[in-house]
Amino acid sequence: AAPPRRVLVLRHGSRPDHIADPALDTLGEGEAKWAAHYLAKELALQKGFAPVTHIFCSPFFRALQTADEAAQALHLPIKVEWGFCELLAQGWLHSRDPLPELRFIGPDTLPIKATIDRSYKTCARPTYPDVVGRLSPGDTKQRKRPLDRHRQALDGVLEFAGSGSVLIVGHGSTHDFVSAALCPSEHLEKHHTPYTVDHCSITEITQQPDGRWRLANFGSLGWYTLDVVQQGRALWRQVHGGLSGGQGGSDDGGPSDACKADGPEPAASIR
């Protein structure tokens, strides 16, 4: 029998707030490298699962930068899947439609070292907006549109990948809607948007022998070691000038305490 498949979801690294499509900041670049190194090491060590054969990524720059590190570590090209773009929430996360500018710029013009697979055709084409205003956990009517596009994207990428496992690089809401699409009974309402996982968190979903999907880990930070904490605090001070608080912040001016057994607290921004 073929080994079971996995869907791994990776959120992008730290980035500046209040910009429609920002690049990673210095801390985010470090997080992306640490997460990529961890993924390459863990995937090589873990047996019994189908190997990751494809990387699918949101078209937003911060996600592509994060995928770039993973693609180099795993020796795979990046496939840009528009169905995994961030939540298109008018009046909350966006004041105007970001999609035309993303299409105009295109991933080929960005400083990405890994190969962009130009032959890949996106499985889902989002339209703006997904929702007007702020999402509320458990509101099925509000969540239907973004959930439908994630389902469409997942159906396509899983068919494309065949027997292989996949890595999806996206946003805080990607963890929410991928989990809701594949294993709705296991995905807790308290983890619905606007809750969000920390930067470069990893969600792991495994396929069972009967074909159903199981949520193995939601928003894990297995790469967050003591060495990373020390390096991250130095980068945090570079980015924030030694001030505490903000996205992923803690009282000592370092990254948030992501090693807690119950996972990270909701972040200040889901973007």
Paired with 168 in beta bridges are 9, 56
Residues 6+ apart with CB under 8 A from 110: 61, 64
Instruction: Tell me the pairing of strands 52-57 and 165-170.
Output: parallel
Kindly report the pTM of this predicted structure. 0.87
Q: How are the residues of the chain apportioned to helix, strand and coil, as percentages rounded to the nearest 5?
A: 35, 15, 50
CA–CA gap between residue 31 and residue 137 (Å, rounded): 28
CA–CA gap between residue 169 and residue 153 (Å, rounded): 13
pLDDT string in tens for the chain (271-residue length):
889 999 999 999 999 987 889 999 999 999 999 999 999 999 988 889 999 999 999 999 999 999 999 999 999 999 999 999 999 999 999 999 999 999 998 888 888 889 999 999 999 999 999 999 999 999 999 999 999 999 999 999 999 999 999 999 999 999 999 999 999 999 999 999 999 999 999 999 999 999 999 999 999 999 987 677 677 677 767 766 654 333 333 323 333 333 333 333 344 467 7
Q: Which amino acid belongs to residue 119?
A: S
Domains and CATH numbers, the chain: 6-227 (3.40.50.1240)
Task: Please name the helix (run of DSSP H) or strand (run of DSSP E) that holds residue 226, with its range, or none.
Answer: helix 226-240
CA–CA gap between residue 226 and residue 127 (Å, rounded): 42
Task: Please name the helix (run of DSSP H) or strand (run of DSSP E) that holds residue 45, with its range, or none.
Answer: helix 26-45
Residues 6+ apart with CB under 8 A from 245: none
Query: 């996995």: which residue's tokens?
Result: 6
**Cβ neighbourhood burial of 50 (10 Å; 0-12, 13-18, 19+):** middle
CA–CA gap between residue 81 and residue 193 (Å, rounded): 21
DSSP 34: H
Residues 6+ apart with CB under 8 A from 101: 20, 21
